[in-house]
Structure 1
Amino acid sequence: YWRKMLGGRSDLSSVKLNVDGMTCYVVGVMPPSFDYPTETEIWATPNGEPPSTSRTAHNFSAIARIREGFTVEQAQADVSLIGKQLRLTYGESTDAVDFTLIPLQKFLTRNVRQGLWLLLGSVGLLLLVACANFSNLLVGQLLSRQREFTLRVALGASRLRLTRQILIENLVLTLPGAILGVILATFAVRLLLVLDKGNLPRLNTISVDGRILLFACGLGVLIAVALSFLPGLRSRHDLHIDLKSGARGQTVGGRGARLRGAMVIGQIGLTLVLLTGAGLLARSFLNVMAVKPGFETGGSVVMTLSLPTTITVEEDEKIRQFYVQLLDHIGQLPGVDAVGGINGLPLQGRSQNGQFLINDDPSQKGYAVYRIASSGYFPAMKIPLVRGRLFDASDKANGQHVAVINQTLAQRYWPNGDWVGKRIQFGNMDQDKRLMEIVGVVGDVRDSSLERDAEPMLYGYSLQRPQWWQVARLSIVVHSQTKPETLIPSLRTTVTGLRSDVPMSFAPLNEVVSASFDARRFTLTLFGGFGVVALLITIIGLYGMLAYSVTERTREMGIRMALGAQRANVLGLVIKQGLKLAAVGVVIGLLGAWGLTRLMASLLFGVTATDSVTLLAVVATLGLVTLIACYVPARRATKVDPLVALREE
């Protein structure tokens, strides 16, 4: 901001900024690396106005650095004592019973920590699948040259020289592959930034640097070194036997086949684990999307306005008149069915709650989410009226203040339905101590998240409550039969016609709601992507192993068919080999999935970690792709000409 808006000027003594109607003097510039809260450009001191000063509203988090020589436990004891002292001093006017110290890193990652660990684990599983597949291909290639290596040893080549040659050949494959992977990773990081949309803390600081390159190259060297010893180990066997078994179909022997089979089994098992996790997340995502939020999104556009936080009585009245005129003008636009405003849309993760008092029972206190809405808000959002009435023309700005509550609040505090005419005081939130009379009950709306039950909620009438409380996050919901792209220019013109200095943004309501799924969608996309990539790698690995096995067993296939075996028998022989490997891999994978799904239980919604439908679907998918991977080499085996196969031997 200092560079973009202030030109990087060194003299800041005369720089003044207008922030929410307040004049702020610039006293310092933070370094570019400081970004907390994320994407913040201006830090200003609190304005000292309610609800900032309310002792029953929860609006601030304090950040402290523990003095050197003190432990977290000691600091926790001190702040707990402060909480008790506040309770003794201010009594019922505060609910600050205790404070909890949380390490900042833990606080920043509190909602994503488990997901990050699971993603890290999934990356590790995918890495193992890729390494196993690559190793399998190299093993097949090296063992196919076993007769060559044995012959060279017989002619006097040392095993060290042989191993060195294989190491160089392997490095020629692994190191360029590692470098290519790092290059692709730079593009993958950019893709992550697009997919994340601000859900992961400090993701914008991630970059591919020398450490990543070193890790990738180190892994490539490790694989190359490990596989370089294989021919040397094989050449320690009896040279006479190895040379005699140089015919096709006998070059590798049972040990090589078992090694490659074990790698395929491992790939299938790891892939099943990833696919099971992705399947459970997908079902959870669908379950969340199926939850009814308590309002309808179709045909509605959200217009968000940013007005200065007003303080004086005169400014408050100006904002009130602007608000009334704006809603009236928008309501007259062609195609508009309903229009209403509120100071905080649902599912934005910004629920503000506070303590309210019930007038006829001062001893009874409660907590509720506090919203300020206009009379047209409920029709615009299609929030049903359950009992009583909504705000209407009889509710004057200087008359009896009224409120509408949701079903959860009504059932919690007036289970007998005697809420009619009850008066409550919610002045700790907007500092207006006048009592509000409950006139109606509307349906529940899931405010903070679709995954959480509806919270008690109270709506004050926008024309009666202080305007400064509303304008900082004023959202106008417009329900119309007109397409959004046609309606938005009219809305923009309407606003600028009344007040030209108001920043505004527009979005279809369904997109606003969809944004609340971003964190879950991001995790599902990554986990699902890893699962699909692992599945493709496994298919390639299984196909490659079986194709090599068919080539290796050409003589055997020829003899079988020469002795009367049908093509269907040969086809079944190869497919059976692949299905055996898949069956063992599935059993191992189910055991791994059993452990993984318990770690991700908190990420699931409406589905258990042992969901049989998901497990059966994953197993069926693996079985199907195994058949596909087996069929092509099996079909090739049926086309072996017995005479040609025997003549080659």
Structure 2
Amino acid sequence: SYNEFRDMRENNGEVFADLAALEFAVAGIGRDHEMRRSFAFLTSENYFSLMGVHPFRGRFYNAEECRPNANIPVVVASYGFWKRQGGRADFVGCTLQINGQPYTVIGISPEGFCGASALIAPDVWVPLGMRAQLGSAFGDSESMHDLANPKNYTLNLVGRLRSALTIESAKSRMPVISQRFNAMQSETEFQREVQIQKPSRFSLSTSPEDDGPITLIGTLLMAMAGAVLLIACLNLANMLLARGTARAKEIALRLALGASRWRIVRQLLAEGLLLAICGGVVGLILSIWCNNLLLHSLAALLNNVNFSFIVDLTPNFAVLAVTFVFCLIATALFSLGPALKATKSDLVNDLKQQVGEPARIGRFSRFFAPRHISVMAQIALSLMLLFAAGLFFRGAMKAAGLNPGFVAAGDLVTEMDFTLLKKEPADARREIFSIIQRAGELPGVKAVGVGTMLPYGNFTNTRRIMSTRSTLSNDPKAPDPGASALYTATTPGYFESIGVKILRGRDFTQSECENRDGRQVGIIDEEMAKKLFPNEDAIGQHVRYTIPPRDGSPNDIEIVGIVNTHRHDVNNETPLVRLFVPFAQGYTGNVFLHLRLATQGRQSVAGMIGTVRSTLREIDPDLPIIQMSPYVDLLDRCVGLWIVKLGATLFGAFGLIALLLAVVGVYGVKAYAVACRTREIGIRMALGAHRKDVFALIMRQGALQTALAVFVGMLLSLAAGRVLAQILYQVSPSDPFALITSSVILTMAALFACFLPARRATHVNPITALRTE
């Protein structure tokens, strides 16, 4: 509570140098009747000083403005929000409409500042004294508006440890603070434990575990990039080995004239470093270009999410330093070995220009020569990356091919959030029904309906229900008679407008949807009917919530209709079950208006946006419209589907780059091997060998090396599949189709790379080959 925050700030056992309070709220921020939903952070007056920042312009709010229930409407705008508003010099002092109320901008936060989070940032910072007006982003009630209420436990605390303390040492002092907290409560209240954690860098949470998925994905991407880097290093190492062999006479001559081995190694390393730095610069430029593509894709997604995220992918000093370090590592990987080998030369043979592999090398040593081992490693790593790309591609195909169970084509969706205007629920419902009536009169509109949740949207609302004839057992081993259902309040016409069929029973009536205290009825989907009433007709049956409504409303719902099963997202193999209730009984403030048009073409649906928007503005100029879009566009920007597609794209790109590098590597090594064995091939052909024998000789070695590399690559692929299992979409981590397909593609590519040098070997002229020796 606020009182506990003040007490802890003054008496924290010498743990914190400073302590600030933080709360999150959803705010509708707009000007000139245009509104965007975003996060607003409500903080105490010392939050900015604790974070060590100063205002870019203007000032931050003071203690008086943060006093509980001060109700002084001032706001600090973020730097990004100020830039999006045109970056006007007179922005400080202007008025913003936040949740329908005027706020005065008193300052602008510094560029890039987003508080304790690295990704999620607010558009505005608001003093805690405005808590009653904005509310909370994660559930709110009227009793929790007053910060002076000692039972209002809605604040998050952010502290800066004293310089001599670590997290672990601070944790050991928390029990004393916990005892002080509990001593401030009455004996009837629950006991609490004060914990200290590093703030999550990627979410609005104090739980570090929330960073797990992002950390896992980042680690996997770094591992894939590292594998590609290793393949490239092996490729260049082969090139430098070949170059060292070609320069054998030059190096031998330098050594014979007194040059030290270390001096020659330094020269070769410098040449390798130059290659690495040039490659690093080109790679950095390509990464900036790829980052821009990723940001463009992310921007389209965030337009659907309607929250502000700070994603700065501009290279900074740290990125440049890491790039340089990787250049040094790459230099050591692909230059050091060839440089040391080049200086371990046989001066006599090298000065005599005895090019090629010595005759004493046997088949086994030639088969497992360093450059051949390098090529086989490239093939194995490339197969692993191709297999990973295949798994994600298979998942993306499955996600794209799912039947959602509704018809998105021809549906224009408008999201409106009446909670941003603090409008009374009864007034908002009346306005929504007026909107339905006016929208239904528009030309080309076949059906209109409103629901409180959007299938394939970004938010869910669930209720656990069970048959009224079932009872909950205290035995944890007993079968669960209930089911967790997606909970949606709808108006008449909703199912027709979204393209969902009523299989049995009926839709809700107008009176049921307008009267909050009317008859308790519900509609369920097929899956729910099968689960709760497997051997009987669900129509006329009664269900109840496992946790009764807090407002004391009746907990007995009669089933009056059954609709076909339809999905809510792409993340579950089996669609989640659904419960629909009349609109007035489940209205929460955020609604989705569906207009089913006579045409299903996307362009025709998009062409109606202007007409619908102007019609809605005629009803209410301040209508809190969050987004208006053809439903098919919203499905394409679905977060789950976007993540699956992004994984397929990124891993596919890594796989293709690795495949290209492996093919180039195989071709280069085989071409160099044929050049080194020109004399041997000439002798074989002079002694009667046919061209097909020479061709078979080169291809046989390449095929055996490819087979061995593919075998090792399959083992690596299966191991990689286990690592990727957590983020795969409905695909086995050992999917045989992906494994076989990637193996065949890589084998064919490697054999094609062997074919060209082998074909060239068959055209060696024995006389010319022997004469050159």
Q: How far is the alpha carbon of 1:565 from its aligned partner?
A: 1.9
- 1:480 and 2:582 aligned: no
2:502 corresponds to which of 379, 385, 391: 385
1:204 partner SS: coil
Q: 1:419 to 1:51 in 2, by over 3 A?
A: farther
Segment drifting more, 447-456 vs 170-179: 447-456
Segment drifting more, 151-160 vs 351-360: 351-360
In 2, distance between residues paired with 1:107 and 1:344? 28
Q: Normalised by the size of structure 1, how large is the TM-score? A: 0.83
| Within-5 A mapping of 1:305-324 | 305-307=416-418, 309=420, 316-317=426-427, 319-324=428-433
Segment drifting more, 539-548 vs 335-344: 335-344
- Residue 442 of structure 1 corresponds to which residue in structure 2? 563
Segment drifting more, 575-584 vs 499-508: 499-508
- 1:71 and 2:171 aligned: yes
- 1:328 and 2:431 aligned: no
- Name the aligned partner's letter for residue 224 of structure 2: S
In 2, distance between residues paired with 1:537 and 1:76? 60
- Name the aligned partner's letter for residue 104 of structure 1: S
Segment drifting more, 607-616 vs 256-265: 256-265
Q: Normalised by the size of structure 2, how large is the TM-score? A: 0.71
1:34 corresponds to which of 96, 114, 122: 114
Q: 1:612 to 1:356 in 2, by over 3 A?
A: closer
- 1:633 and 2:760 aligned: no
What are the Cα deviations for residues 92-131 of structure 1, in whole angstroms up to 9, with x where unaligned? xxxx9x9998962435434433222211211111111111
- 1:183 and 2:293 aligned: no
Q: 1:545 to 1:137 in 2, by over 3 A?
A: same
Segment drifting more, 181-190 vs 420-429: 420-429
In 2, distance between residues paired with 1:537 and 1:453? 41
- Name the aligned partner's letter for residue 426 of structure 2: D
Q: How far is the alpha carbon of 1:375 from its aligned partner?
A: 1.5
Q: How far is the alpha carbon of 1:189 from its aligned partner?
A: 2.4
- Residue 629 of structure 2 corresponds to which residue in structure 1? 507
In 2, distance between residues paired with 1:305 and 1:342? 11
Segment drifting more, 229-238 vs 607-616: 229-238
Segment drifting more, 357-366 vs 444-453: 357-366
Contact kept in structure 1, 2:269 and 2:339, CA below 8 Å: no
Q: How far is the alpha carbon of 1:278 from its aligned partner?
A: 1.2
1:109 partner SS: helix
2:637 partner SS: helix
- 1:261 and 2:261 aligned: no
2:200 corresponds to which of 98, 104, 116: 104
Contact kept in structure 1, 2:411 and 2:600, CA below 8 Å: no
In 2, distance between residues paired with 1:247 and 1:311? 85
| Within-5 A mapping of 1:458-537 | 458-462=579-583, 464-465=584-585, 469-470=588-589, 472-481=590-599, 483-487=601-605, 488=608, 489-502=610-623, 503=625, 505-516=627-638, 517-537=641-661
- Residue 675 of structure 2 corresponds to which residue in structure 1? 551
Contact kept in structure 2, 1:196 and 1:519, CA below 8 Å: no
- Name the aligned partner's letter for residue 429 of structure 2: R
- Residue 614 of structure 1 corresponds to which residue in structure 2? 738
Q: How far is the alpha carbon of 1:631 from its aligned partner?
A: 1.5
Counting matched residue pairs gives 630
- Residue 164 of structure 1 corresponds to which residue in structure 2? 266
What are the Cα deviations for residues 255-306 of structure 1, in whole angstroms up to 9, with x where unaligned? 8981111111111111111111111121122223333323222332222335
Q: How far is the alpha carbon of 1:510 from its aligned partner?
A: 2.2
Larger strand proportion of the pair: 2
Q: 1:107 to 1:386 in 2, by over 3 A?
A: farther
In 2, distance between residues paired with 1:202 and 1:425? 37
- Name the aligned partner's letter for residue 549 of structure 1: A
Contact kept in structure 1, 2:412 and 2:629, CA below 8 Å: yes
- Name the aligned partner's letter for residue 120 of structure 2: T
Q: How far is the alpha carbon of 1:246 from its aligned partner?
A: 1.8
| Within-5 A mapping of 1:373-452 | 373-393=490-510, 395=512, 397-398=514-515, 399-400=518-519, 402-415=521-534, 416-417=536-537, 420=540, 422=542, 433=553, 437-451=558-572
What are the Cα deviations for residues 194-248 of structure 1, in whole angstroms up to 9, with x where unaligned? 2445689977133322333333334434544663564554444543244446246
- Residue 141 of structure 2 corresponds to which residue in structure 1? 53
Unaligned runs of 5+ residues in structure 1 are 91-95
Larger helix proportion of the pair: 1
Q: 1:87 to 1:511 in 2, by over 3 A?
A: farther
Q: How far is the alpha carbon of 1:410 from its aligned partner?
A: 4.1
Q: How far is the alpha carbon of 1:87 from its aligned partner?
A: 14
- Residue 590 of structure 1 corresponds to which residue in structure 2? 714
Unaligned runs of 5+ residues in structure 2 are 1-76, 144-152, 162-168, 202-207, 473-480
- Residue 766 of structure 2 corresponds to which residue in structure 1? 642
Aligned-residue CA RMSD in angstroms? 4.3
Segment drifting more, 593-602 vs 147-156: 147-156
- Residue 93 of structure 1 corresponds to which residue in structure 2? none
- Residue 216 of structure 1 corresponds to which residue in structure 2? 323
In 2, distance between residues paired with 1:556 and 1:426? 84
Q: 1:379 to 1:173 in 2, by over 3 A?
A: same
- Name the aligned partner's letter for residue 283 of structure 2: G
- Name the aligned partner's letter for residue 576 of structure 2: E
In 2, distance between residues paired with 1:180 and 1:474? 47
What are the Cα deviations for residues 343-362 of structure 1, in whole angstroms up to 9, with x where unaligned? 22012231123467988989
Q: 1:250 to 1:377 in 2, by over 3 A?
A: same
- 1:303 and 2:414 aligned: yes
Percent identity, aligned pairs only? 26
Contact kept in structure 2, 1:17 and 1:26, CA below 8 Å: yes
Q: 1:362 to 1:627 in 2, by over 3 A?
A: closer
Q: How far is the alpha carbon of 1:570 from its aligned partner?
A: 1.8
